[in-house]
Chain A
Amino acid sequence: MNIISKFRGKKTVADIAILKERRHSEVVRKVTPTLIEEFEDYLTIDKDTFVTCVVLGVPTKHHNGFPKTLPLNFTGQIMAIENTGEFLIDISYKCSPIPPAEAMALLDNSMYVNRVSMAQVEKETRKETGVSVHSQRYDFQAQDFTYLFKEVYKNEQKLFDTQYIIVIKASSLEGLRNGTSSVLGVIEANVVNYEMPYHKMLDTYMAALPFPTSVEFAEMQQLSNSCGALLPLNDPLTPLADTGLLYGLRKADGSPYIIDWQTLAAAHHIIIGGTGSGKTVELMKLMMSGHDILGHRFIYITPKPDSRTNFISVANYYADQAQVIQIGAASGCQNINPLQIMIDSNQTMLTDADYVTLFNNHLELLTAFFSVMDTSTNMDDYIIQSLIELYRRHGIIRKNVSTWKNRAGKDYPVLVDLREIWKEDVEKKNPSAVAMLNRTSRLETSWEYINRPTDIRMDKDLIVIDLSGVPGSLQSAMNVFVTGLMSLRFNTDLTKKTCVIIDEGRVFLQNKSLTEFILKMYTQGRSYEMSAMFATQQVSDINKDIQELFKNNSFVNIVMGNVQPNSYKGLEDFFSLSPDDMRALKTCGVGEGLVQVRGKSTAVSFSLTDLEKDVILGEWKAGKKAFIDSGFQLIDDRLKSLIIDQEGIMSDWVEGDPKVLGIDRVPYNIQQTFGRGMTQVWVNPTKVKDGKIMQQTPDHYGTVLQIGAYLLLKGFEVKINHFEDADIIAELNGHTIAIEYERQGSHSKKELIDKKTKLQTTYGKVLFIVPSTYYSVVADPSCVGPENTVSRGSALDEYLTDLWQEYRDLKPLIQQSCSVLTA
């Protein structure tokens, strides 16, 4: 029994040891890469990652480790090196405090050694030359030792064992060389001593990683202040938000520059840019992206006519989602009757109290509208009284919501009706009425159009309001009214966030009431889930007394590039730009600029996508079909036109997994036209009826699509018909060929001959492509003939390649005709 229990005891001990070993081995084996190989000057990890290290700051006999005046952002400079697809840079800094007593002992010893060495050199040189040579090196070292000793002794700083290693990783040796070169460039520019630890790369690499290890040759001793400056605890590159609204690409490295509006106190913007700087284009880009990515509602208000930048084209692009409102007297322009209370028909959740608030806000807005005409407080009160009276006379009772909630626009009073009340009050010797009557006399002349009922709709998500048609004398009032109306309209709908964009804001700031109104939007908009973008040409457009208020409430500032030198000072002061920011701004051209968020400025290129270019610059044609590829990459962009026209796509036209096509398409298996095996054609399900795609069998449709793509990529102009004419008409250098794809039983022999004759008459050359099993029938001389027939597969590939070479080498047809004429 004793022996058995002893054995059991030993087994338990062994089991525990095994378990411990397994647990331990699991961690180290889990963490270690599969294969590490050490070479003289680099490592490879798993054969696909090349690694090299640089040891920094270790002093030698001839050099100090770091210069005395090393900039505090030295580590930041290394961190700011662009990590491209070629290489990655890691920084490791280790510090471990030395107890003061030990530190002082080390320093004492070093000072002693320094003196002895100095004396020894002096003695030797005196012996050899008769003159003692005194090296300054020992003096400088002695000064350093004394300084360090003083700092440690007086408890001003601690002394640390430190180690600074930079690791460069790349997927190729060339990338590793480039990375090393970039790093050494920064190190040498700062005159820092460094060493490539040849033959010790693995030890150095492991010492750089977060383990409690170090290598002796990388160790040095530094004071606390040096440690604080060298630790990588301040990132020079703003970590770009990785989700939010895309503004453009960061100029420094081409990274997408994104601002997450949710992290801002309010998404208010100030945009400053001179004429032709790309300000309006950027506003349009932000409007489109904000609408499509964030799902926000945008109202763009501009007092300048649409010229080079086609903001109307942007609205047209979005068709039913957008509306262009051109206010003015001219024919075709719309009108807003200021007295009509606008209610969003989409909103059904409002209570009676909400409606009354809406009414009150509208009265306030009307007061603001008239305040532009320099009204006094008494006059403002009088305006409200007269408005209530006017509404009462028209059966509109403020608190009785049913009297106006569903009222048609034409049943609302207009401003001329209000003047009638004022006229009555003039007779009662009311001075406010007299003043108002005098100030609004043009309502019966040049402003008369405003007395029309409202004929705009405001239930769209993108509203472009063009105020350029409003007479100058009424423009300020209309600006206030329209801007306010839009804000009020969207204040009541908190389900969608709204952004009001005011372009050419200089016009708005020329009027005090209007300025106050805009400031109110900036200061209070956040409560209503509203944001504002205010764009103007120069900082001086904003009055000095409101600049601070504007600045404090704007959380994104954009300064467009192409700045005139005389504007530098104003911009520098207004946005508190640093010398570095100013340098960056001066390098910004048209379509570029500085974006400032939380005081940090970044040079950004507001590059447009192809579609944005088309739309914003007015080249988008109505009815032009959009190419939607649900996020896949085509093997060749030339196929795009075919996909748009034919609404089908072959799985081998896509890079990567073709399953992404399944988002909005259905697949059909068909045979490869030029090779063996099967492939898939993916089509829009709306184009499929009774198992046929555009009246063709999937095989016919897919085969024609494959041949069309083949020719397209060879440089032919290709037209595909599914209903009449030849299946494919291809043209190169003016030479045309008509191609028909025929399957057994689809046509009789006579029909084929008729087809051949007809197509030959029209296009000259005809080719019938058939499955190999049908070749003998069609190629028979009594039918279409062998010269006009080819079977699918490799024979077709050869035929079309020969044809392409023939057409390519032929002179263009027009040149041939000229040659004949010349002859």
Chain B
Amino acid sequence: MESLLLRTVREEVWGHPWYWVQNSGIYMLITVFIPFLILIISDSLIVKGICALVIGFFILVYIRHLSTPEKYNSTIKRIWYTYRVYRGKTIIPKYSTPLEFLKEIVPLEAVHPTGIIQFTRNRYGVLFRLYVPTETEGGLETFVPMVVSNFVNRIVETQTLKVFAMNRYVQSANIINEILEAMNDSSGRTPEQIAHLESIYRQLNESVKVPTQRYIYMFLGLGFFETVPEAESSLKNILPSLRDGFAISGITGIRVIDPNEIALTYRRCLK
């Protein structure tokens, strides 16, 4: 199974990434070379001392934080994070955060009645709830090629496919509710039956501590469009092909259309 970095590939210098060699050089130039020049030029012992300390300090910083590409990447991320903390951008209270900034985090613009979701920068997409098979004839060896040919390869260049599988707690397992209802429907049941149901209820309550349910959603990013009808038209082109793909792969895909349901789905995904 291959995974490669093609978009960020750069020539290496002495086996190291070019960006690291370049930026380390700039760092050295500014923090070491310039104070070193001053140290040589200056006649004052105090200035020389300060320059020596500065050079020592920056060399230490280099060794500790920038001496390898990994350390360099981590340091850059930390600096940006600290900057965001300083700007208060790591705390997002949704009611007091300006809308524009909130949309930078959650890029939702609008949900249209036809189920088309509009994102920032004129991006559009749709959501599907998937019910996937557990056991397929021939196992994964036959299932995966089926998914590839009927699903993955059907996505066209401008589109994006994102599948999000999540588990969420549910209030109570249905079987527990069912047994409770049966217990309460005492008209058709004898005390012995109700006592038995009660013992099952207890057993389930002890064993099923926190019931969870699996939700699998597929997001289909349609691409960039000027208007909603254009996005809808693009969707119409791919829907029949997708439906066929679902059917052949044994996957049930139900499009989430109701705007409230879409909002609820995103809320469920977010928390």
Contacts and interface: CB of A to CB of B under 8 A. Distances in A.
Interface of A: 21, 23-25, 27-40, 45-46, 49, 57-59, 61, 64-70, 72-73, 76, 79, 83-85, 88-99, 106-107, 109-110, 113-114, 116-117, 120-121, 124, 135, 141, 144-145, 147-148, 157-158, 160-162, 167, 198-200, 202, 206, 208-213, 216, 219-239, 242-244, 246, 249, 254-256, 258, 288-289, 291-293, 295, 317-321, 598-600, 607, 609-612, 615, 626-631, 633, 663-664
Contact of A291 (B95, B123, B193): B193
Contact of A208 (B17, B164, B212, B266): B164
Contacts of A113: 9-12
B135 A600 contact: yes
B151 interface: yes
A145 B6 CA distance: 9
A3 B114 CA distance: 40
Nearest to A98: B157
Contacts of A61: 17, 69
Interface string B164-202: 111111000111001110111010111111111111111
A234 B105 contact: no
B99 A233 contact: no
A39 B12 CA distance: 33
A135 B16 CA distance: 13
Instruction: Output the residue of A33, A93, A231, A291 with the most chain B CB within 10 A.
Output: A231
Interface in B48-99: 69, 74, 77-78, 80-81, 84, 90-95, 99
A157 B145 CA distance: 11
Nearest to A211: B107
B4 A220 contact: yes
A59 B123 CA distance: 29
Contacts of A39: 90
B47 interface: no
Chain A: interface secondary structure? mixed
B46 interface: no
B99 A628 contact: no
Interface residues of B, number: 123
Interface of B: 1-15, 17, 69, 74, 77-78, 80-81, 84, 90-95, 99, 102-103, 105-111, 119, 123, 125, 127, 130, 132-136, 140-141, 143-145, 147-148, 151-153, 155-157, 159-169, 173-175, 178-180, 182-184, 186, 188-205, 207-212, 214, 216-219, 221, 249, 251, 259, 263, 265-267, 269-271
A121 B2 contact: no
Contact of A95 (B161, B164, B184): B161
B77 A200 contact: yes
A767 B199 CA distance: 38
B175 A226 contact: no
Contact of A29 (B95, B107, B133): B95
B81 A40 contact: yes
B3 A221 contact: yes
A234 B140 contact: yes
Contacts of B156: 97
B94 A35 contact: yes
B3 to A, nearest CB: 3
B196 A34 contact: no
A213 B4 CA distance: 20
A94 B14 contact: no
Given A66-B3, A631-B183, A45 B270 contact: yes
Given A212-B123, A212-B125, A88 B183 contact: no
B212 A88 contact: yes
Given A234-B133, A243-B175, A626 B12 contact: no
B106 A628 contact: no
Contacts of B211: 255
Given A107-B6, A145-B4, A198-B77, A293 B197 contact: yes
B164 A66 contact: no
Contacts of A27: 108-111, 259, 263
Contacts of A198: 74, 77-78
B200 A232 contact: no
Contacts of B212: 83, 88
A599 B134 CA distance: 11
A404 to B, nearest CB: 33
A631 to B, nearest CB: 4
A223 to B, nearest CB: 6
